[in-house]
Structure 1
Amino acid sequence: MKRILTFLFLISCSLLLITSCSVNRAKIDDSLKKYFDENKVDGCFTMFSNSSGKVTVYNMRLDTMRFLPASTFKIVNALVGIETGRITDEKMIIKWDGVKRPVEEWNKDLTMEEAFKVSSVPYFQEVARKIGKDTMQHWLDTLNYGTRKITTQIDSFWLDNSLKISPDEQLGLVKRLYFDQLPFQKRTQQIVRDAMVQEDNTLYKLSYKSGWGVDEQKTNIGWLVGWIEENKHPYFFALLVKSPDANIDMQKVRENIIKGILKQLGFLEGKM
């Protein structure tokens, strides 16, 4: 018995050391701070190289803090919608309800892939209503998605701070999605991966989902989560942006930061 306990103790110590080593392998890159400063925002950036296992982090403090996912939740909403048949495929149309909204691209009939590209809130609110609270909760629990909480309405819980997730958790989700490691059919994951493609050329392929919401302190929270592929090697990333400026051009700021960081890290030229 004593030998068994000693063996188990040694195994536990070994696992602890392995975990510590993987954490210590993260490279803190404070040089990336300038991209946030140039755009007058706070935030963090994390990247994982699948081939080398290298992790690059700016602002580790925010990397493990949880924030509302905003429209990055469309990744999960689409996955669940397709898997449960509420979305038949990427060409499924949901007709415009006739209500004029500030984003002009939302004010028309949209297919799933179109709605994903323009980040249509009404389209995916309807999808969430069709999925229902119990089924959605099942998938949040199955995926262990952030706080897994639906404490408000089924068509707004990812927008109103009911549900929260960290940049580190977001990165883990998109990595599993890329490799078909989520508990969905391969077809389901492929449709969502295809919808996430933003740029595809001879040098690189850039895929991500954006998000923009407001937290309890009225701070703007912006996201870009996804991956970049060069020479068939994927690099996964999560960008978080925070700003109290109510007039911030979040779309421009996110793009400025992600392109600046990717270029500094050697991407966008097909050499990685």
Structure 2
Amino acid sequence: MRYLSGFVFGLLVLTSCSPNSVKEEKDLEKYFSAQQVTGVFGLFDNAQGSFILSDRKRFKDSAYLPASTFKVVNALIGLETGIVKDDSTVIPWDGVTRKVPEWNQDLSMYRAFRVSDVPWFQELARRIGKDTMQHWLDTLGYASRYGRAVINRKDSFWLDNSIKITPDEQLGLMKKLYFNQLPFQRRTCDIVGRMMLMEDNTNYRLSYKTGWGNAENGDALAWVVGWIEENKHPYFFVLQLRSADPNADITAIRMKVLKGILEELGFMKGKK
């Protein structure tokens, strides 16, 4: 049962919901088509136990590499195992100059998470080690919708399409993390949740982690996973999109789509 208690949660909730608690709003697809991308959006209202989905089948069945959304799990494991003491722990820059200027310096885990520093978290994965990482993936049932997620290369398996995760599983993780229902200490979950808080104002608190990568055929893939809180009520969301255009600014597009959908659903005004 422990294997099923983690990330598969999202799938089990969706498939066990009554039809009335799952609302498919195909009209939301206009936000994808406006940016010339395809994808899916899902939102879970925790108070009502209801879903809003742009495409029910795609939400359950489309699976892609987790890309940098895996930093959430990587950070949880690093903290739980003591590889990193807290979010102020620094991993020194390796001296290799990369295209993202923010990565070319010594960074704390907090800063590395916020700027999504890939090399930083690759080094963290190497320090965790393949066997320990695999143990935790198995314990969580991570990316297990289509079978056990097996690590090939310990510092890139979340980037190379060797494991894949569904939007349903991603949303399940976010809910479990928020309510401290993962098999980690509360302190571990609290630290990661704090790193995910990106916007905090009088109307709402928006917490998320982004991800970007490429499918086997070269298409760009992007994620935004997290939750939005208004009047102390959490709503969990996942956005996944895909583009065949090599010139598409996928990092900007994903936030345009997310913010557009959230605004249409009445969020970000403090009135939910």
Q: What TM-score do the two structures reach when normalised by structure 1?
A: 0.91
Q: Which is further off, 240-249 or 74-83?
A: 240-249
Choose from 95, 100, 104 the match for 1:103. Answer: 100
**What are the within-5 Å matches in structure 2 for residues 181-200 of structure 1?**
181-200=181-200
Cα deviation per residue 1:169-199 (whole Å; 9 max; x = unaligned)? 0000010000000000000000000000110
Q: Percent identity?
A: 56
Instruction: Give 3-state SS (helix, strand or coil) of 1:254's partner.
Output: helix
Measure how far apart 1:255 and its partner are: 0.9
Instruction: Give 3-state SS (helix, strand or coil) of 2:120's partner.
Output: helix
Q: Which residue of 1 aligns with 2:260?
A: 260
Instruction: Give 3-state SS (helix, strand or coil) of 2:247's partner.
Output: coil
How many Å separate the matches in 1 of 2:67 and 2:105? Answer: 22
**What are the within-5 Å matches in structure 2 for residues 1-272 of structure 1?**
20-22=16-18, 25-64=21-60, 65-147=62-144, 148-272=148-272
Measure how far apart 1:163 and its partner are: 1.3
How many Å separate the matches in 2 of 1:21 and 1:255? Answer: 29
Instruction: Give 3-state SS (helix, strand or coil) of 1:85's partner.
Output: coil
Instruction: Give 3-state SS (helix, strand or coil) of 1:136's partner.
Output: helix
Q: Which runs of 5+ in 2 are unaligned?
A: 1-13
Instruction: Supply the AA of the counterpart residue of 1:22.
Output: S
How many Å separate the matches in 2 of 1:111 and 1:259? Answer: 28
How many Å separate the matches in 2 of 1:20 and 1:101? Answer: 46
How many Å separate the matches in 1 of 2:123 and 2:210? Answer: 19
Cα deviation per residue 1:12-58 (whole Å; 9 max; x = unaligned)? xxxxxx96543552100011011101111000000000001110001
Q: What TM-score do the two structures reach when normalised by structure 2?
A: 0.91
Cα deviation per residue 1:113-166 (whole Å; 9 max; x = unaligned)? 000000000110010001111110111011111134234210000000111100
Could you say if the C-alpha distance between residues 270 and 100 of structure 1 is closer, same or farther in structure 2, counting changes exceeding 3 Å?
Answer: same
Could you say if the C-alpha distance between residues 73 and 23 of structure 1 is closer, same or farther in structure 2, counting changes exceeding 3 Å?
Answer: farther
How many Å separate the matches in 2 of 1:111 and 1:202? Answer: 28
How many Å separate the matches in 2 of 1:222 and 1:115? Answer: 19
Which structure 1 residue ranges, 4+ long, deviate > 4 Å from structure 2? 18-21
Query: Which structure is larger by alpha-carbon Rg, 1 or 2?
Result: 1
Instruction: Give 3-state SS (helix, strand or coil) of 1:261's partner.
Output: helix
Contact 2:59/2:168, CA 8 A, preserved across alignment: yes
Contact 2:130/2:151, CA 8 A, preserved across alignment: no
How many Å separate the matches in 1 of 2:176 and 2:79? Answer: 17
How many Å separate the matches in 2 of 1:23 and 1:78? Answer: 36
Q: Specify which structure has the bigger relative contact order, considering alpha-carbon pairs within 8 angstroms and separated by 6 or more residues.
A: 2
How many Å separate the matches in 1 of 2:50 and 2:202? Answer: 25
How many Å separate the matches in 1 of 2:152 and 2:251? Answer: 27
Could you say if the C-alpha distance between residues 129 and 216 of structure 1 is closer, same or farther in structure 2, counting changes exceeding 3 Å?
Answer: same
Measure how far apart 1:248 and its partner are: 1.4
Cα deviation per residue 1:68-101 (whole Å; 9 max; x = unaligned)? 0000000000000000011110000011010011
Instruction: Supply the AA of the counterpart residue of 2:143.
Output: G
